[in-house]
Amino acid sequence: MADAPGAGESLIKKEPDLPAYDPIVSNSTSGWMLVSALLLTLSIAWALYDEAFGQRPWKGMQREFVARYTRYLNSIKANSGKTEAEIIESPEYQQLKADEDAARAEVKDEMAQIDVEVARAQRKLDAVTDTFQNQRGRLTVINYNVETSQGSAKDRYRRQAEQKRQEQVTVELPSDDGKSVEKQRLNYAQLEKLYDDLREQKATGLGRKAELLKKPSELAKKKDDYLKNNLIGLGPAAIEGLKTKMGAYDYSILGHQLSVNAYNIVDRCEVCHAGIREPLNIKASDMAPDGPGKEPDSLARAFVSHPNREVLRIHNPEKFGCSSCHWGNGRATTSEMKGHGRHRFWLWPMFEKENTEAGCQQCHSRDRVTQGSEVLNLGRDLFSERGCMGCHRYEGFDRETDSLAGTRQQIGQLEDQIRANEKQIREDEGASGTDEEVKQLLAHAQGLRVTNSLLAARIDQMNLQAKYLMQDQKKVGPNLKDVRVKLRKEWVPVWLHDPWAFRPETKMPRFWRFANPLEGRANMQDKDAEDQIQAIAAYLWQEGFDSKLPSQAQGNAGHGKELFESRGCLACHSIGEGDNKIGGHFAANLQRVGEKANFDYIVRWIHNPRDRVAPYCPKEKRDLTADDYAKKGLPFVFDTELHSRCPNDGAELQVQNMTVMPNFRLSESDARDIATYLFSLSSPPSYQAANFMDDPKLKDKGRALIKQYGCAGCHEIKGFEDEQRIGKELTVEGATPIERLDFALQTQHAEEGEDPLKLRPDEKEHKPWYNHKGFFERKIEEPSLYDEGKEKDPKDKLKMPEPYLTPEWRNALTTFLLGSVGAEGSNVPSSLFYTPQDQRRQDIQNGWWVVKKYNCMGCHQIQVGQRSVVQDLPFYQTPEGKDLLPPRLSSEGARVDPAWLLRFLHDPSLSGEKTPAQQQQINALAGPSPSPQASPQASGSPPAATADGQIRLHPQPGLDRNGVRPYLNFRMPTFNFSPNELQMLVRFFMAMSGQQDPYIKEPMKPLTAEERLVARQMFTSGTPCLKCHITGDPAHDAKAIAPNFLLASERLKPDWTFRWLLDPSQISPGTAMPSGLFRKEGDRWVVNLAQPPQSAVNYHDDHAQLLVRYMFLLNPDEQRALLATGPATTALPTAATTQHHASAKRKKVRSHHRRSPVRAVLGRQAAETFKTQLGEIK
Amino acid sequence: MRRYINKWTIWGALLVIAGIWAFTVRDWHQLWTISSAPDNIPIVAMLFLVPFFTWLGVRQAVANDRLVEQLEADPKLAKVHHRKVEPWRPGWARELHVWPYLVRIEFLATVIVTVILFVWSITLNAPLEEPANPNLTMNPSKAPWYFLGLQEMLVYFDPWIAGVVMPSIIMVGLMVFPYVDSNPLGNGYYTLKQRRFALLMFGWGFLMWILLIVIGTFIRGPGWIWFWTGQTWDHNAVVFDKNIDLHDWVATSRLGKAIGLGFLATNSVAKFLFGFIVVSVFFVVGALFFHWLMTVDFKRIRLPRAFSLREFHQALFPKKELEQKLLARTSLLQYLTFQFFAVSVLLALPVKLLLRLTLTIKYVWVIPWLNINF
């Protein structure tokens, strides 16, 4: 361009013949054009491909599913026949088949006989029918004519009809053997009778045949059911059907989309997860790319069927969709990432497999226990048991504390109102004015007085409620007002420094600001950690009760060990260390209790843990002393029953320790023995002296620190009785926007997947954890993490201490938190939440809170399939050990009378009426001058001084006594429930068994003398009931392993008892109660004996019902009579001794069941005796 | 000096600058996160496309200017038909038709752009961001890329000025400029010499706008805090920015106190008057500056050789003939209109930006009674 040619010259020149190269005209763009056109074509092709396949990856998945599933179906089709054949060959099936055949053979002859008879009748019937029907037809015509004709014609027809009736017709009846024919001439009446008789004969025969076939057909059904239940998967026909379905597979989204209009749910999960609801149970290996049984790939894992069909049945996907439980993005189909909602801005990312049950919590947030959500239930258990709720409010947890605060506030308001009214009354009455005005004012004052009395009544109600709430209010940790009397002084700072060093796995969290022994985290420790510990210890020590406890002598450690292992302590507590540890984790491990505690205190604690040193008055906000009582001239006595009010102002007091530990009604010496045993497990080391704990200068600092760390969340501490929770409310924590979770300096680590805690060391790839799960897991694993590297004032540092967690526990708690999203954070409308409207399910929901609070499941099985802690203890693994376990309560509501259950839960010793012996015992224990104010339910009364000046523990009512099952070593302890909780528990058990509310007891029909005799005979013959059941006779009861019949009428429900008699093993598998005592005979149950007593044979009503009535009407006299004559105590060899011979007993019980001849004879003898007796009575 | 400026040295210099910059980048992951966000793709492309097309245009303009020079030097040649970008050569067609010579190029461009759009739309989906939540807005919360300049302006001005007044002035200005332009030259072809001032003003405004967008995209992080490229966007980052009004700054400075201007901090009338004076002075100075830019002959600017007013004037304000001529053609209304837009947008924006970034000046002119601040 720059080198333009000489200008002037070119102007004159003609254009040359050959044009020069023109940059525009001569340049061709075809090359460019071609390339661009090709690119355009390619990009259009790409766009089309993307539209058809790139954006529809599910199409490939569907094709793959159909291919793999069809292959799988083919592979099992051959097998399905084989498996059926295998089952048919199995001994069980063969046995059933043999039973059926035997039953058929049994009736074969009779059946043949009936067939012959029926055939005979039929032959005769054939011969008669035609003739009879002809005659009848003609007669009907004549009768019609009679009816319609007039005058003389009528009479004529009548005569005709009479003739017809008298007319003799001939029938040719075949003889019985069918060989000859007998001619008979019969008139109409005779003919009709013959016809009817023959029909009757035939019907009877057929009826008998059906009756005979009943048993064989029942057995045949049983056999077929067995085949059906044991055939894995489906039969060949069904598989063929599935294959046909695959052949016509609907390759679309809409065909597999779940739309729930009501809840605005549209889920397309099944577009890819096509096997989820297949009738077959598809496993990943079935869908492996290289054929069934090979190594599955990720696609195969996506094609499996839903692992929990039961859950799917209750939550039908057609109604709930998928994403409502699992979260994720139900509408996305273009990629796994999008469908599962794994996008940082998607609010509901799919829960990880291990946290799936978080989805349950979303709707079941008001449940304490949700059936089938084991991980979630564990999370809830941990949240309450490990003390999370001490600092963090969570709706539903620790409801007593919340309602107590509300109740107290209301009482305060009402009192203010009363005061204001009183002031107004004084003003009204003091005012002057005209007569009319004064009159009006006086009337007003009068009205206010009435109002005040109403308000006072309300306050009384509320006070009562407050009392119950205080009774039910519990703390996770021990009462620290007791430290002085309970603990070794030097031990307190040692414990505070690092509780896990002393007692690994304890509930007490490790305060990382005091000590952080974890690798690389020591720098998180405060510089003045030691000073802080000293200050806290000093405050606790100086503020503790200084009281004198009865001093206790050493007991028998051997006996203590026996008691500790057998009474039920291990349902909550554990003992031993490391691999030797046994017992539950609901309460502390007691291995090293001797190193820290005062022996006298522990004896007192075991004796009655609710026993409080001094009551606390929430109104005056202080602990009352003996002086307070003395001033009013009252004895220093306080208990939950009668003495729960403050002597100064009548306010309800906190009269018992806030512990769930119940009272085992042990004698003082037993308590001593257990304590001695516990103290024998460790020898106290010498700790560094801790004189600073008496330094009053440290108190203020200690107080501030206790407030800062929130110790009062779990412990009772003087001066902190009304302390609020210091942690964040967690009810909807899972819905916190991720931006509001303080990852602090870990944000970048979280986003890049670098894990400073190495929670999953075996996982190779770095997985980003900038999400709720990542945050929660690390927050509870190591709370100091989010303070690492931060420059903060000590008071601003994170307060949360480090809880002890196993990886399983951590996951359970994380699941619980992830699901805690409330209505706002949930991805389903709150109308889907589980809020039962019917009373029954509400009762269940409420009851679980109480059941879990007191760890009932440590001893009892409440749900089918659940295991109690004691069940897994090494001592109860033998058959005889299993007999000694606490009763299974899965059908408790159906079994017992609710009124009785209430009484029992209130006082499990059922010692409301004490036997003289017991009273004597109590008196003896109480010493010569028992406190006159002591109520029967005294809990928390102070030690009473005996004449010799020795302070003794208060006597126990119902001492050493089990109300229902004295034969058990386990002791149903006294929990001291408030009426609120008693009611909740009873309703819970009733609701769990689907019982009607209210329960109205039907009166029992009295027995006739004859019935009584029959019942007695049944009672004593065959399996004599009184052999195992308790009677009240100590010599006999030593061997008994079942409750007393005298309790039955008030304790049991007749319907349940009836079912129990018929088949106890169905209600409580493994029970010692024998099954098959009765057999069905027609509609009724009769006693199942080879040679039943004659009177029973003559008795034509239901035997089992009769026995129930007899049991319910049994009185002590009758029982004594039975016992005196029954074979149980006399005839039996008494090899079985008191302890641990249950198996022998059981064997014997079973042998009775087999009706040994000896037993049968004895039974008859007993019957004879009774007959004689009965005669005498008459 | 001039002989060292060639393409090698320029590339070399660019490489060195890039190297130094790369050396300062501490967090490549962060940089990648920003650059790869689908909605930031146009801006990343702009970083390269704007310089490239600027260079392309300048190259063409330089070539044209040479051609103009050549043609002007030879009146005969000037009379010959010539292609606007290159002199005519023998054998060439004297005139070219739109069809096919222009249309085929345009068609080619259309096809290429279509391919780009196809590929773009297939490979990059619209980004999903946080759900709208008035209680929890996203942080940083950024406007679409074409509005980022506007959003960045909000840092420097009163919202009313930055959000309403400035954009209106810019739009009205763009509409008005054809009418204030009195230059008949340079239509339809690239040139630097013939439209020196117009190009300077446009380039200035355009690049400023681009710069604001780039700052908004790459520099502004959470809390709209200034993060240098390659610095991690830390949500917990804290800065202490205490913006003060100019009068307060003056009143509280040591010098201000010394000369008795402390009352500016308290007296609102004084504040108003002070701001008014400052702004007026700014407008006068700004106008003079633009006037100088309009007429100066950059090539003849030199250091004054003697200490006299005349020498200063001759050395620093040499006039250029063409520009003088153009100025003479411009009416007073055209001139004032231009000056208003130029000073209030082209100059005020960068000046305020520097004041804010370096001296943390919030407002220059506070009118307390109207709640309008400049």
Please write the tens of the pLDDT for every residue from B46-71.
999 999 999 999 998 998 898 888 88
pLDDT at B135: 80
pLDDT at A662: 93
Note the pLDDT tens digit of each residue in A455-514.
999 999 999 999 999 999 999 999 999 999 999 999 999 999 999 999 988 999 999 999
CB atoms near residue B127 (< 10 Å): 10
Residue A489 per-residue DSSP state = T
> Quick one: average pLDDT of A1028-1036?
78
pLDDT at A1134: 36
Interchain contact, B90 vs A20, CB within 8 Å = yes
Cα A1168 from Cα A1149, distance rounded (Å)? 23
Cα A619 from Cα A640, distance rounded (Å)? 17
Touching check for A32 and chain B: CB below 8 Å? yes
Touching check for A744 and chain B: CB below 8 Å? yes
At residue A1052, what are phi and psi to the nearest 5 degrees? Answer: -100, 165
Cα A545 from Cα A623, distance rounded (Å)? 9
- B85 confidence band (pLDDT: 50, 70, 90): low
- B167 confidence band (pLDDT: 50, 70, 90): very high
With 80 as the cut, is the pLDDT of residue B163 above it?
A: yes
pLDDT at A940: 42
Interchain contact, B90 vs A739, CB within 8 Å = no
- A90 confidence band (pLDDT: 50, 70, 90): confident
> Quick one: average pLDDT of B291-316?
89
Mean pLDDT across chain B? 88
Contact of A816 with A379, CB cutoff 8 Å: yes
Cα A554 from Cα A603, distance rounded (Å)? 10
- A18 confidence band (pLDDT: 50, 70, 90): low
Interchain contact, B80 vs A11, CB within 8 Å = yes
Nearest Cα residue to A70 out of A219, A239, A256, A295: A239
The token duo for A55 is 């954006």
Cα A93 from Cα A229, distance rounded (Å)? 11
* H or E element at residue A245: helix A236-247
CB atoms near residue A43 (< 10 Å): 20
Largest pairwise CA distance in chain B: 81
With 70 as the cut, is the pLDDT of residue B1 above it?
A: no
- A357 confidence band (pLDDT: 50, 70, 90): very high
Note the pLDDT tens digit of each residue in A511-525.
999 988 877 787 888
Cα separation values, B67 from A270, B6, B191, B220, Å: 71, 21, 10, 45
Q: Could you tell me how many residues make up chain B? A: 374
With 50 as the cut, is the pLDDT of residue A943 above it?
A: no
Contact of A1046 with A1115, CB cutoff 8 Å: yes
AA letter at B194 = Q
Note the pLDDT tens digit of each residue in A175-220.
887 788 888 888 899 999 999 999 999 999 999 888 888 888 888 8
At residue A1085, what are phi and psi to the nearest 5 degrees? Answer: -100, 130
With 90 as the cut, is the pLDDT of residue A572 above it?
A: yes
What does the CA dihedral A563, A567, A569, A575 come to, rounded to 10 degrees? 40
At residue A121, what are phi and psi to the nearest 5 degrees? Answer: -60, -40
Cα A1072 from Cα A1136, distance rounded (Å)? 15
Report angle CA A87, A89, A95 to the nearest 5 degrees: 95
Q: Is A345 helix (H, G, I), strand (E, B) or coil?
A: coil
Residue A32 with chain B: CB contacts under 8 Å: 108
For B131, which of A18, A29, A347 is closest by C-beta distance? A347
pLDDT at A41: 96
pLDDT at A1132: 36
Beta carbons within 8 Å of B212's beta carbon, 6+ residues apart = B148, B149, B150, B152, B153
Q: At what angle do helices A1009-1020 and A1103-1112 cross, to 10 degrees?
A: 100
Nearest residue of chain A to residue B108 (CA atoms):
A33
For B108, which of A2, A32, A752 is closest by C-beta distance? A32
Q: Is A1080 helix (H, G, I), strand (E, B) or coil?
A: strand
Alpha helix (H) ranges present in A473-575?
483-486, 491-497, 499-502, 529-543, 557-566
Beta carbons within 8 Å of A246's beta carbon, 6+ residues apart = A66, A69, A70, A73
With 50 as the cut, is the pLDDT of residue A932 above it?
A: no
Cα A673 from Cα B9, distance rounded (Å)? 97
Note the pLDDT tens digit of each residue in A95-134.
888 888 888 888 888 889 899 889 888 888 888 888 898 8
Cα A905 from Cα A975, distance rounded (Å)? 8
Interchain contact, B108 vs A36, CB within 8 Å = yes
Cα A802 from Cα A388, distance rounded (Å)? 11
In which residue are the tokens 């929890």 written? B136
What does the CA dihedral A747, A753, A757, A760 come to, rounded to 10 degrees? 150
**ipTM here:** 0.81
Touching check for A47 and chain B: CB below 8 Å? yes
Interchain contact, B90 vs A16, CB within 8 Å = yes
CB-neighbour burial class of residue A1013 (10 A; exposed 0-12, middle 13-18, buried 19+): buried
Interchain contact, A46 vs B118, CB within 8 Å = yes
Cα B364 from Cα B374, distance rounded (Å)? 6
Beta carbons within 8 Å of A670's beta carbon, 6+ residues apart = A559, A560, A563, A960
- CA A965 to chain CA centroid, nearest Å: 24
With 70 as the cut, is the pLDDT of residue A244 above it?
A: yes
Note the pLDDT tens digit of each residue in A282-331.
889 889 998 888 889 999 999 999 988 889 989 999 999 999 999 999 99
Residue A2 with chain B: CB contacts under 8 Å: 63, 66
Touching check for A12 and chain B: CB below 8 Å? no
In this structure, of A167-176, A695-704, A1018-1027, the range with the lowest mean pLDDT score is A1018-1027
Nearest Cα residue to A1037 out of A1046, A1045, A1028: A1028
With 50 as the cut, is the pLDDT of residue A934 above it?
A: no
The answer to whether the predicted template modeling score (pTM) of the entire model surpasses 0.90 is no
Touching check for A11 and chain B: CB below 8 Å? yes
Mean pLDDT across chain A? 84
Contact of B87 with B77, CB cutoff 8 Å: yes
Residue A91 per-residue DSSP state = H
- A1143 confidence band (pLDDT: 50, 70, 90): very low
Note the pLDDT tens digit of each residue in B121-132.
999 888 878 888
Cα A674 from Cα A591, distance rounded (Å)? 12
Residue A13 with chain B: CB contacts under 8 Å: 90
Query: According to the per-residue pLDDT averaged within each range, which of A13-27, A953-967, B176-190 is highest?
Result: B176-190
pLDDT at A718: 93
> Quick one: average pLDDT of B152-156?
92
> Quick one: average pLDDT of A544-550?
87
Nearest residue of chain B to residue A9 (CA atoms):
B77
Q: How many residue contacts between A and B have a Cβ separation below 8 Å?
A: 108
For A40, which of B80, B85, B114 is closest by C-beta distance? B114
With 50 as the cut, is the pLDDT of residue A799 above it?
A: yes
pLDDT at A1047: 83
Positions of E strands within A1067-1121: 1078-1081, 1084-1087
Cα B294 from Cα B326, distance rounded (Å)? 9
Nearest Cα residue to A1026 out of A1163, A851, A859: A1163
Contact of A474 with A659, CB cutoff 8 Å: yes
Interchain contact, A7 vs B77, CB within 8 Å = yes
For B91, which of A20, A33, A745 is closest by C-beta distance? A20
Long-range contacts of residues B189-193, Cβ cutoff 8 Å, at least 24 apart? B189/B64, B189/B84, B189/B85, B190/B57, B190/B60, B190/B61, B190/B63, B190/B64, B190/B85, B191/B61, B191/B64, B191/B65, B191/B68, B192/B58, B192/B61, B192/B62, B192/B65, B193/B65, B193/B68, B193/B322
Cα A497 from Cα A194, distance rounded (Å)? 106
Cα B343 from Cα B366, distance rounded (Å)? 19
Query: According to the per-residue pLDDT averaged within each range, which of A164-173, A1155-1164, B164-173, B362-371 is highest?
Result: B164-173
At residue A1067, what are phi and psi to the nearest 5 degrees? Answer: -80, -45
pLDDT at A1142: 42
Nearest Cα residue to A398 out of A852, A775, A1024: A852
Interchain contact, A50 vs B111, CB within 8 Å = no
Contact of A44 with B118, CB cutoff 8 Å: yes
